[in-house]
Structure 1
Amino acid sequence: MERTRRQLLGAVGLSSIGLLAGCVGGQGRTACEPATDTDGAPPKNKLFGPDGNTDDNFGNALAMSADGSTAIVGAERRDRTPTVEAGVAYVFEVDGETGSVAAELTPDDRESSMDFGEAVAVSADGSTAVVGASGAGKAYVFGRSGDGWSQEAELGPSDSDDDSLGMAVGIASDGSTVLVGGFSSTVPVFRRTAAGWTREHSLSPPADATGSWFGAELAIDGDGTRALIANSEAPGPEGRREGEVYDYRLTDGAPTRGETLQMPPAESSDHFGISVALSDDGTTAVIGSDRKTDTGPLVDPTAHVFEHRPDGWRRLDSFAADGDTASGFATAVAVSADGDTALVGGRLPDSADGTPTAGPQLLHRTADGWSAVKTFTPDDESRSFGTPVALAGDGRTALVGARVDDGADCRRVGAAYVFAVPAGP
């Protein structure tokens, strides 16, 4: 539903790394001091939310514009007042491997426990942001005008939608189309028109599909004509939760469902579709999966690269973690607009001294296929480094979350790290 009132959210101009011990946050809170590295200061590429505090989960969702100059960072547990833990999404201006807060996005109808910031997405030019709030069953669209941001629309559910909508969002690079997902039987498709945002379609799984995670992960191409919707709980032939990903065409008229992507029987997995990303032209997809042993631990979490050809989707390559994988490599993936660079993350276990035992993998496409070319690691003792991940459309800047990273004097405040991406081979 379109909002009749717009709340202007101006640029607040706060440094992402300039928090000081003992500074007072909003509503009289004492802000958390960021943890420091061996030089006594936070790494320069580490982003924080202003006035951060325990359990903010800053960095739980990430998105970047095409040139990497605009980043959206969710903090779904951020409480702007002592009693309203509604969540915030921060807009960062990124320059190289540093960033500063330009705006704080909050919804007009803010209420406690709405998980605003659980999912975020941004258009290629950085002028339109979408923020999910599954606790409210909605998503919100914000637009940039000059130096400020304002709420443009509230994308709420219909009577047939599940009330968990907002746990996943996607926006076409051109800003024309938005998808909103959750643990739902449908994924609504919203289009920008001269009159505002309008619900155009609802995407549904195949009639014989089962599993309750349809729409919990999704991706959309650059012009809003192809969408991939995951159902990572879909059972396979033996009843295991092997997962499926459905391909939809969103052209004029009713949407059409095409191929179902899944693992071949000889390579069965659990939760194929725990993460999904799609290139701008809709022909390159990166999809995460994991597999469980009979005793429960995760083994062989893997990211799979698919390419769409005239005869359908084909898997080109698969990549496993570099190091200990028990906590779920490939639970987060991103891909550049041209489909030639991918980033595969996942929360990886920390060593005894708090440093990650592995990190997100950078993948490049070459004439000979795909190869892993770099592993990102933080310069400090970060907790939970590795998920989620985002990649600028041009593939030159990466953003990696650490949503339960500790501050110097508080726990689970969260952080995110900016990395320059080396040019492909």
Structure 2
Amino acid sequence: MENLLLTVLFLAVLFFLLGSGVWVGLSLLGVALVGMELFTSRPAGDAMATTIWSASSSWTLTALPLFIWMGEILFRTRLSEDLFKGLSPWLGGLPGRLLHVNVAGCALFAAISGSSAATVATVGKMSIPELRRRGYPENMIIGTLAGAGTLGLLIPPSIILIVYGVTVNESIAGLFMAGVFPGIMLALLFMGFIFVRALLRPESMPPREAATGFLQKFRDSFSLLPVILLILAVLGSIYAGIATATEAAVLGVVGALVLSLLQGSLSKESFLESLMGATRTSCMIALILAGAKFLTLSMGFTGLPRDLAAWIGSLELSPLALIAALTVFYIVLGCFLDGISAVVLTMAVVEPMVRQAGIDMLWFGIFLVIVVEMAQITPPVGFNLFVLQGMTHHEIPFIARAALPMFGIMVVAVILVVAFPEIATWLPAQMRSSP
């Protein structure tokens, strides 16, 4: 009974603060402060100061602002034009034709961004006008872009995987490796949907454009070479064990600055805009992490996570049943919180359950990110929906309906990762076993 009252109190205070428009990070700090003052004898001020400092001074966390800055720099280059120009000649011959550019472009930019919203905005600012001009169905343009934009959360270097790794003390490099094959799988599932739909409804596709020769395709793709080299340098240095995630992030920032300088898009204004954009995003995430860390401490003093984990254990759920329950839980939670907030808010309670069930935490991180990806395209708080609303001027219900098939595809991806966990665990295991 006492645990139930504690849970209700924590949730009541949290939703009151969130509903009042208080920032998520400050809301978490407020809930933790209430718990410390009412249910523990430890001085709340000292505990908060110590916890916030420890949460903010992690060396692993330094990779976060650097990867964000890399994406911000490239967001202000001509990358979106290069993506469309370089990919469209190769994909135009497939059923669904240039709609595949949305998926392939998002997958490519996700490998240098780590942000779902930035991925949608970068690819969409060029592909939406081009696809509209060619007469592609509006719902498919928006739906494929909304779904494929979520790849920014899964394909490394993923910001949310860094946050998860810091929260549960798992290897960032290992999580990045674990995200490679699931990210590719999800991109192929999106492209498969476009392929099948185009075969079933060929009348909805515009006429096929004139074919181009191989040499012309190669020339058009040449502008993508610097970006591909940057991806290979950043991720390859991590996978080869040459650099840590933080060192690779530094390499990525330097490479992005050089690339934008060579393109002629690096100016004093764009440099400062990218720096301030990265600072704002990093500070927001750091505040959420600090609030979640203090909330974890507060809940630990009350014994709530331990008791809840024991209660879940007493239900004797199989690992599969636990995963099914957590899938539904995170989908519902994602309707009201962004992905990073949902992860850091729940880990204090969920992590003990998952470890007790014997579930691999690397695998669980990938599962969690795929489920959280769904939250990016579910109203009322779907970040990708808001980005697309600003770019297309459609209402949220229309965009959400267009993205609904992509939600279903992500459900299929979750089922595949649960049924075949090696999709996520094979590559990290190979890297660990290599000399």
Same fold by TM-score greater than 0.5 = no
More strand by share: 1
Structure with the bigger RCO (C-alpha within 8 Å, sep 6+) is: 2
How does the TM-score come out when normalised to structure 1?
0.25
Q: What TM-score do you get using the length of structure 2 for normalisation? A: 0.25
Higher CA-based Rg: 2
Structure with the higher fraction of residues in helix conformation:
2
